[in-house]
Amino acid sequence: MSATPVSLSFEINGKPVALAISPVQRLSSVLRDELGLTGTKVGCDAGDCGACSVIVDGEVVCACLTPAASVEGARVRTVEGLANGTLSALQQSFLRHGAAQCGICTPGLLVTATALLEKNPAPSEIEVQDALGGVLCRCTGYRKIVRAVTNANGPTALDTALIPARAAVGASPIRLDGERKVTGAEIFGADERPEDALSVLVVRSPHWHAAFEIGDTNAFLGAHPGILAVFTAADIPGRNRFGVIPPFADQPALAENRVRFRGEAVALIAGERAAIEDLDLADFPIAWKELPHALSPEEAKTSFPPLHEGRDGNLLTQGYVECGDPEAALASAHATVGGAIETSYVEHAYIEPEAGYATMEGDTLVVKACTQAPYMDRDDTAAVLGLPPEKVRIVPLATGGGFGSKLDVSLQPLIGLVALKTGRPAALAYTRGDSMRSTTKRHPASMKAAIGADARGRVTGMVFEGDFNTGAYASWGPTVANRVPVHASGPYLTPNYRAVGRAIHTNGPVSGAFRGFGVPQATIMQETLYDRLAEKLGLDRLEFRILNALTDGQKTTCGQLLESGVGIRPCLEQLRPHWRRSLEEAARHNAASGKTRRGVGVASCWYGCGNTSLPNPSTMKLGITPDGRVVLHQGAVDIGQGSNTVVTQICADALGLPLCAFTLIGGDTSMTPDAGKTSASRQTYVSGKAAELAGRALREKILRFANVSEAAEIAIEGQHLLVSEGEVRRSIALSSLPLDADGYAFAAQATYDPPTEALDEKGQGKPYAVYGYGAQLVELEVDVTLGTVKLLKVTAAHDVGRAINPLLAEGQIEGGIAQGIGLALMEEYIPGRTENLHDYLIPTIGDVPEIETILIEVPDPEGPFGAKGLGEHVLIPTAPAILNAIRHATGAEITKVPATPARVLAAIQAVEKAP
Amino acid sequence: MYTNEFRARTNDKRRRDGERGRQRGMATRYAKPTDLEEALRLLDEARWTMLAGGTDFYPTLGSAPLRGNVLDINGLAVLKGISETESHIIIGARTTWTEVLRHPLPPAFDALKLAAREVGSIQIQNSGTVAGNLCNASPAADGVPPLLILEAEVEIRSVKKTRVLPLKDFILGNRKTALGPGEMVTAVRIPRQAATGASGFVKLGARRYLVISIAMAAARVTAAQGQIAEAAVSVGSCSAVAQRLAGLEDGLKGHPVQACAGIVAAYGFPELSPIDDVRGTASYRLQAAREIVARALLQAMGSSAEGGLAA
């Protein structure tokens, strides 16, 4: 930011500093860019997220809104100043309670809560919420944060060093990457930048659909000293098409002469940092010619020319599952219900906008950025830049939330191009607006369905049809189209069934992966119809679901025989006492006349873990160093969900050595084998299984070397491996053994790929090897005069097969529920209108009620130690359970989410007007 | 985004000025005077963007480079804090929402304090100023309805003169104020005769914290022997500028407190002209306004308003 520098001095974490800086530079930038204190995060630059909270003279403020001049003479405290030699009680409490997941919001929360605790050492829950209401967290669902603050001075946590060998699975140690998340030491995408790096700006389309011509870039460069280069599609050396599913790859890294959505990248401007920061993008020479656009699938599929050649009717692809004779079943059903529901674009709204840098190391392009999928980034970036994959190295920096959107490349090919062409490192951190405009969203869905049951309440048939607005490019549209029909029945026996899911192109934002790949939308349709069907049949809504829940030995709508491990019925059964209590309480409340009505709703989920009928392998490698460390090459990117800890827990118990013996190497593609992407709830199951196999393989090598049986125990003492079996005790001096190329005395690697089978033209086959199940009960209060909804409690029963780490599993559940609340009640991304975090609303700490988690363990023989996936399942039941509770409270049927106060009130009034 | 900044010009204007400035090769000026007269002199000689709490200055700037001149008024100690004269309670232009919350004030200010708690977050309340909220002139400014029922006046100074405008004449439209060239707001003044009775404030938003209002209502009531002697009612986010509901106020006057609900129910709200936007429809806003006006009146009359979540 320009303005003549002035001398400013202030105190930072107790130490005096003096700087010559612009007086209007944001304090966040002063801390990060001038003082290297990158623990203070930038999430929005607008006071909407609180990630940059710091304490100035005892009061917490947003550093992004504080001019440097205002801290002259002040005492400034940041996350780096909270630990005084040892972690503060609050930092320890965050670790103990699992209150930090990805860690991007953690510094802001810690700083804000520290300011609270210094004024009020024993705050109530409400006081904590009031104090932390200005800091957004997208991962945790806030409940553990509230507990961590109210119990800041509680007992210390389980130390990994105290967990004996073979006892890691089922324990809840502090997450292995936890400490650096609470000290501010974690390095996220924007936290590292080489001294000589160029800054990069992306020129993006302001139009839905337009042709464009770039003008005289030489004149532009001449007029802007310090701006060094402009890159356009013509500069791309490779194939200017990327996409997560190679056969559908269709998105140019830089548009060629036509843009298909608002926010699409058309050019890059690279220059010295100060010049880029002082550049007004309005000066860039580009002429636009707007073209007609279509924003709804309805329009796009009937009356609009294809956005992509060969995709007639703008149909990207269609998924289809059929079994039995659904029409006949519905015709002969004792009772049927039908309906239609629409959902909105949902933005991932991770608190970390995409960021990173690229640099050349010899002839290898190194990209250090936040990501969920390092090997996919490598392959896509290499293809765009015309490099062989091995000449691109992806080093994942910490990822401040992903939820599906950081599976696709965003800035990687862009900064890669600049580094490749200029030979200088190239750095880029998206603004919040850039992030929201240009990255993927949850598919808006227009769905209709009908379900029928016999007189005893057995579901006999269902038809489902859904159009999913996949936006301008393919991204994960095919996955959504294919996953939805497989899951749209819910975890219920449905003998006659037809489901179609279509991914339709429009000029809207690219819809991609978002926690659940379309299944949360489809489940809203199915589970709200289940409530109406139960009512029509005169059955209790929970018992109706229990009656129809899939059990071992039954077949899915894909004809897949579920031999064992089907846990939906126990999930629903565990909710029975909560159901009875909450219905009684609601009835009591509603007996009195008043402006609020209580309601109770329930909904289920099931979710296949891993890719749908596609190969999906993970590889894990580990070795023992001569100095007695077990090094796990853990490539399952931990975006906060806990794979660093969970995968290691599995591996430790498989190997038979304690967790504290392990050191982790992250997902650097030059050092760590491919553990696939962090998506599809596959890391605990698939990468965990690979870690289990690798751990067992290493154990076997050691046992064979020591010539003992499987019953032997192994231990590490200093630089010796001790192997004991009965009277036999062997001490193996690790330093005396020959080392492999990686420097390991013993090493093993294993790959696991879930055994699935292709689906035929009727969607019959074995799409997934493992499913996870769950059910949630929501209690809420509706204000019938304002249409506002206050959630009172969510009870969540989830079958995880085996809870490898119960604390982390709870964290996933609470975080998923928070996102489900957002989907149900407030989140609606409108391109051009809600490209910030004050018009686009995600739940705050005051919007997530008490959550009671019930972990159910019905082991799956395929999963590691019986474990199943969980990450996406947890979001699926929340929204339909909320809608069912709203209907129970008021009779209001919501046909479009989010159920904003205006929509809820309109639905209530529609019921009142109905005859 | 949150509405706490002094700003005399619109964003577009700022941009145009910036471009002209650069064409002329003008450097960006920055000044942080410690003397009000000096600040006024500077204002007289050039166009400046005001910087106070920063909670609107930076969001408006976004990632664009700084172009215009910046007058940082954070050195003006004279504008800080709340003081009292015989006739007025005076909120200095640099007074933050947190300072309002912490300052002992009569019950007529309860609505303003309730609003203060709802301005953004504690972070925003610690930086953002009451006067900035008025100058930003957002239709959803949380501070405006409670200040309207307090008959607030805006003290405006330039080198040439000091003038005082009623708040309703200061905010002219969406992001439009009566501030002229060379002028700045120096204080928000509440006449003592308006600081009587008790008040209430209800904000309706789509989430609990850090939310822009769908609608909000403030009410101040002076009652004696169960009769409403005087009522002041205002609604925000339901018109380009928050409005006092004069018709309703007249209707309430002289009636027993118990008649309030019926009078609100029968009122037509002709002062409001809500629009459809991402936060709600116009028709929803009108219905909600009726309900939250009733609740704000109940609060002001000392009964706890029955109902569910409103913010």
Long-range contacts, stretch A809-812, CB < 8 angstroms, 24+ apart: A809/A853, A809/A855, A809/A870, A810/A98, A810/A144, A810/A853, A810/A855, A811/A98, A811/A101, A811/A139, A811/A140, A811/A141, A811/A144, A811/A641, A811/A642, A812/A641, A812/A642, A812/A870, A812/A871, A812/A874
Shortest CA distance from A830: residue in chain B: B278
CA-CA distance, A676 to A683, in Å (whole number)?
A: 8
| Region of poorest pLDDT, from A140-144, A211-215, A278-282, A900-904 | A278-282
DSSP designation for B39 = H
The CA distance from A138 to the nearest CA of chain B, in Å, is 15
CA-CA distance, A583 to A885, in Å (whole number)?
A: 10
β-bridge partners, A207: none
Return the pLDDT at B304. Answer: 56
pLDDT digits (tens, 9 = 90+) for A474-503: 999 999 999 999 999 999 999 999 999 999
Residue corresponding to tokens 């009870």: A795
Return the pLDDT at B17. Answer: 39
The CA distance from B309 to the nearest CA of chain A, in Å, is 6
Residue corresponding to tokens 């629409």: A342
CB pairs under 8 A between A and B: 200
On whether any CB of chain A is under 8 Å from the CB of B67, the answer is yes
CA-CA distance, A901 to B309, in Å (whole number)?
A: 10
For B132, residues 6+ apart whose C-beta sits below 8 A from its C-beta are: B3, B4, B5, B6, B52, B53, B55, B56, B93
CB hemisphere CA count around A219 (13 angstroms): 7
CB B132 within 8 A of CB B3: yes
Q: Which residues of A565-584 are buried (b: 16+ CB within 10 A; e: fewer)?
A: bbbbbbbbebbeebbeebbe
| Region of poorest pLDDT, from A910-914, B12-16, B32-36, B270-274 | B12-16
Return the pLDDT at B6. Answer: 31
Return the pLDDT at A154. Answer: 78
Is the pLDDT at B224 greater than 60, yes or no? yes
Q: A 723-762 residues with CB below 8 A of B? A: none
CB B85 within 8 A of CB B44: no
Give the closest of A45, A60, A834 to B123, CB-based. A60
For B87, residues 6+ apart whose C-beta sits below 8 A from its C-beta are: B191, B192
A705: exposed, middle or buried (Cβ count in 10 Å: 0-12, 13-18, 19+): middle
Give the closest of B29, B127, B291 to A65, CB-based. B127
On whether any CB of chain B is under 8 Å from the CB of A698, the answer is no
Where along chain B do the CATH 3.30.465.10 domains lie? 1-194
Q: Is the fold of A6-81 the same as that of A89-183?
A: no
pLDDT digits (tens, 9 = 90+) for A591-616: 998 999 999 999 999 999 999 999 99
Instruction: Describe the crossing of helices A901-913 and B282-300 by its angle, rounded to 10 degrees.
Output: 100
Name the residue type at position A567. Answer: G
Average pLDDT over residues B143-166: 98
Q: What is the mean pLDDT of chain A?
A: 97
Fold of A618-752: Aldehyde Oxidoreductase; domain 4 (3.30.365)
Instruction: From B295, B269, B294, select the one nearest B283 (Cα to Cα).
Output: B269
Q: B 113-132 residues with CB below 8 A of A? A: 117, 120-124, 126-127
* B288/A134 Cβ within 8 A: no
Give the closest of B58, B214, B288 to A64, CB-based. B58
On whether any CB of chain B is under 8 Å from the CB of A107, the answer is no
Is the pLDDT at A670 greater than 70, yes or no? yes
pLDDT digits (tens, 9 = 90+) for A737-773: 999 999 999 999 999 999 999 999 999 999 999 999 9
The CA distance from B198 to the nearest CA of chain A, in Å, is 24
The CA distance from A410 to the nearest CA of chain B, in Å, is 19
CA-CA distance, B100 to B105, in Å (whole number)?
A: 8
Average pLDDT over residues B297-304: 86
CB A402 within 8 A of CB A372: yes
Residues of B in contact with A59 (CB under 8 A): 98, 126
Residue corresponding to tokens 């005051």: A846
On whether any CB of chain B is under 8 Å from the CB of A277, the answer is yes
β-bridge partners, B222: B230
Where along chain B do the CATH 3.30.390.50 domains lie? 198-300
Of chain A, the percentage scoring pLDDT greater than 70 comes to 99
Question: How many C-beta atoms lie closer than 10 Å to residue A905's C-beta?
Answer: 26
pLDDT digits (tens, 9 = 90+) for B237-250: 999 999 999 999 99
* B54/A70 Cβ within 8 A: yes
Fold of A6-81: Ubiquitin-like (UB roll) (3.10.20)
On whether any CB of chain B is under 8 Å from the CB of A62, the answer is yes
Instruction: From A843, A795, A786, select the one nearest A597 (Cα to Cα).
Output: A786
CA-CA distance, A418 to A439, in Å (whole number)?
A: 20
Is the pLDDT at B3 greater than 60, yes or no? no
* A279/B65 Cβ within 8 A: yes
CA-CA distance, B143 to B218, in Å (whole number)?
A: 10
Q: What ipTM does this complex have?
A: 0.96
A832: exposed, middle or buried (Cβ count in 10 Å: 0-12, 13-18, 19+): exposed
Residues of A in contact with B2 (CB under 8 A): 47, 838
Long-range contacts, stretch B261-264, CB < 8 angstroms, 24+ apart: B261/B294, B264/B290, B264/B293, B264/B294, B264/B297
CB B92 within 8 A of CB B82: yes
| Cis omega (within 30 of 0) for bond into A767 | no
Q: Specify the CATH class of B198-300 in words.
A: alpha beta
* B26 vs B150, more confident: B150
SS3 string of A31-67?
A: HHHHCCCCCCCCCCCCCCCCCCEEEECCEEEEHHHCE
* B126/A836 Cβ within 8 A: no
Is the pLDDT at B10 greater than 50, yes or no? no
On whether any CB of chain A is under 8 Å from the CB of B21, the answer is no
* C-alpha separations of A627 from A289, A387, A390, A623, A734 in Å: 65, 38, 31, 11, 7
Average pLDDT over residues A421-449: 98
Chain CA centroid to CA A437, Å: 18
Instruction: From A52, A7, A6, A49, select the one nearest A26 (Cα to Cα).
Output: A52
On whether any CB of chain B is under 8 Å from the CB of A130, the answer is yes
Is the pLDDT at A161 greater than 80, yes or no? no
pLDDT confidence bin for B26, thresholds 50/70/90: very low
* A62/B288 Cβ within 8 A: no
Average pLDDT over residues A361-372: 98
Instruction: From B199, B206, B258, B192, select the one nearest B234 (Cα to Cα).
Output: B199
Average pLDDT over residues B241-263: 97
Of chain A, the percentage scoring pLDDT greater than 90 comes to 97
On whether any CB of chain B is under 8 Å from the CB of A112, the answer is yes
Average pLDDT over residues A125-142: 98
Return the pLDDT at B308. Answer: 57
Residues of A in contact with B27 (CB under 8 A): 4
Is the pLDDT at B25 greater than 60, yes or no? no
pLDDT digits (tens, 9 = 90+) for B46-74: 999 999 999 999 999 999 999 899 999 99
The CA distance from A414 to the nearest CA of chain B, in Å, is 19
Give the closest of A136, A277, A782 to B308, CB-based. A782
Q: For domain A89-183, give its CATH number from 3.30.70.270, 1.10.150.120, 3.40.50.2000, 3.30.1490.190.
A: 1.10.150.120
Instruction: From B129, B120, B137, select the one nearest B8 (Cα to Cα).
Output: B137
* B309/A788 Cβ within 8 A: yes
Average pLDDT over residues B179-201: 97
CA-CA distance, A168 to A685, in Å (whole number)?
A: 16
pLDDT digits (tens, 9 = 90+) for A796-823: 999 999 999 999 999 999 999 999 999 9
Residues of A in contact with B279 (CB under 8 A): 900
For domain B1-194, the question of CATH label 3.30.310.160 is answered with: no
pLDDT confidence bin for A245, thresholds 50/70/90: very high
Return the pLDDT at A160. Answer: 74
Q: The domain A198-293+352-434: what is its CATH number?
A: 3.30.365.10
Average pLDDT over residues A895-914: 96
Is the pLDDT at A231 greater than 60, yes or no? yes
CA-CA distance, A800 to A605, in Å (whole number)?
A: 12
Shortest CA distance from A23: residue in chain B: B30
* B126/A133 Cβ within 8 A: no
On whether any CB of chain A is under 8 Å from the CB of B176, the answer is no
Return the pLDDT at B15. Answer: 39
Instruction: From A512, A427, A510, select the one nearest A252 (Cα to Cα).
Output: A510
The CA distance from B86 to the nearest CA of chain A, in Å, is 32
Shortest CA distance from B27: residue in chain A: A3
Average pLDDT over residues A272-279: 96
* A900/B280 Cβ within 8 A: yes
- Helix (H, G, I), strand (E, B), or coil: what is residue A279? coil
CB B93 within 8 A of CB B187: yes
Residue corresponding to tokens 């609107």: B56
* C-alpha separations of B35 from A69, A127, B6, B31 in Å: 16, 39, 18, 11
Give the closest of A67, A836, A902 to B284, CB-based. A902
Return the pLDDT at A856. Answer: 98
Region at A51 (left for phi over 0; alpha for psi -120 to 50; beta for the rest):
alpha
Is the pLDDT at B23 greater than 90, yes or no? no
Is the pLDDT at A405 greater than 90, yes or no? yes
For chain A, the structural domain boundaries read 6-81, 89-183, 198-293+352-434, 618-752
* A595/B307 Cβ within 8 A: yes
Name the residue type at position B260. Answer: C
Residues of A in contact with B210 (CB under 8 A): 48, 50, 133-134, 136, 838, 844
Extract the tokens encoding A569. 């019925």
* B209/A844 Cβ within 8 A: yes
Q: A 785-844 residues with CB below 8 A of B? A: 785-790, 825-826, 828, 830, 833-834, 836, 838-839, 841, 843-844
Extract the tokens encoding A482. 């294919």
pLDDT digits (tens, 9 = 90+) for B37-46: 999 999 999 9
Residues of A in contact with B32 (CB under 8 A): 23, 69
pLDDT digits (tens, 9 = 90+) for A864-877: 999 999 999 999 99
Give the closest of B32, B212, B284 to A23, CB-based. B32
CA-CA distance, A734 to A717, in Å (whole number)?
A: 10
Single pTM value for the model: 0.97
